[in-house]
C-alpha cells in the first residue's frame, strides 16, 4: 500500500506541478486572448479562460450554478478516481498509472476552479480555420489516462 501511495503521489504530483507551473507562466506572460505561434498553421499558445467544462460545457450558465455543479462533480470524480486507483491490483501497473494521471489532471483543474472559478487553457491546435478547443496539461493527462483505461477495457485486461 505504501509503494502504491508513493506512485500515486509521484505521478499525480508531477502532473499537478507541471500543470500549475505552465498556467502561472501563461497568466503572467501571455495576455488573455493573445496567441503566440509555435508551429504556424498548426499550434499556438493561446491564453483563454474556460468557465465551463469540457468543450465549454455550461460556460454560458449562471456562474453560481456552474461553480456548484463543477466543484461537486470535480470532488466526486477525484474521490472515485482514488477509489479505482487503490482497487486496481498490482498486476495492472499501467492501469494504476492511468488512474494516477487522471487524478493529477483532475486536481490540477480543480485547483483552478477553486482559485479562479474557471480553468486556464492555452494549448491551441488547428488546421486553417478548424480549431480543436484549447486545453492544458491537466486536460492532456486526463485524456491520456482515459485512453489507457479504454485500452484496458478493449483488451479485456481489467481486473475482475
- Annotated catalytic residues are 121, 139
Residue 110 contacts residue 26 (beta carbons within 8 Å): no
Residue 29 contacts residue 117 (beta carbons within 8 Å): no
Q: What Rg value do the Cα atoms of the chain yield, rounded?
A: 17
Look at residues 2, 33, 8, 151 and name the one whose alpha carbon lies nearest to residue 84. 8
Cα separation, 134 vs 111, whole angstroms: 18
Quick one: CA dihedral 135, 138, 144, 148, positive or negative?
Answer: negative
- Residues 79-91 as b/e (b if ≥16 CB within 10 A, e otherwise) read eebbebbeebeee
Amino acid at each position: 500500500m505504501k509503494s502504491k501511495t508513493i506512485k500515486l503521489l509521484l505521478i499525480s504530483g508531477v502532473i499537478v506541478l507541471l500543470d500549475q507551473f505552465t498556467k502561472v507562466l501563461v497568466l503572467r506572460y501571455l495576455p488573455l486572448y493573445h496567441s503566440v505561434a509555435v508551429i504556424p498553421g498548426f499550434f499556438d499558445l493561446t491564453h483563454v479562460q474556460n468557465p465551463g467544462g469540457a468543450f465549454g460545457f455550461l460556460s454560458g450558465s449562471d456562474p453560481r450554478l456552474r461553480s456548484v455543479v463543477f466543484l461537486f462533480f470535480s470532488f466526486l470524480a477525484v474521490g472515485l478516481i482514488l477509489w479505482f486507483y487503490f482497487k486496481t491490483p498490482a498486476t495492472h501497473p499501467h492501469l494504476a498509472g492511468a488512474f494516477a494521471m487522471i487524478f493529477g489532471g483532475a486536481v490540477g483543474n480543480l485547483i483552478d476552479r477553486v482559485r479562479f472559478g474557471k480553468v486556464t487553457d492555452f494549448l491551441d491546435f488547428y488546421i486553417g480555420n478548424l480549431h480543436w478547443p484549447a486545453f492544458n496539461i491537466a486536460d492532456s493527462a486526463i485524456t491520456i489516462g482515459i485512453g489507457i483505461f479504454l485500452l484496458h477495457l478493449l483488451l479485456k485486461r481489467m481486473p475482475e
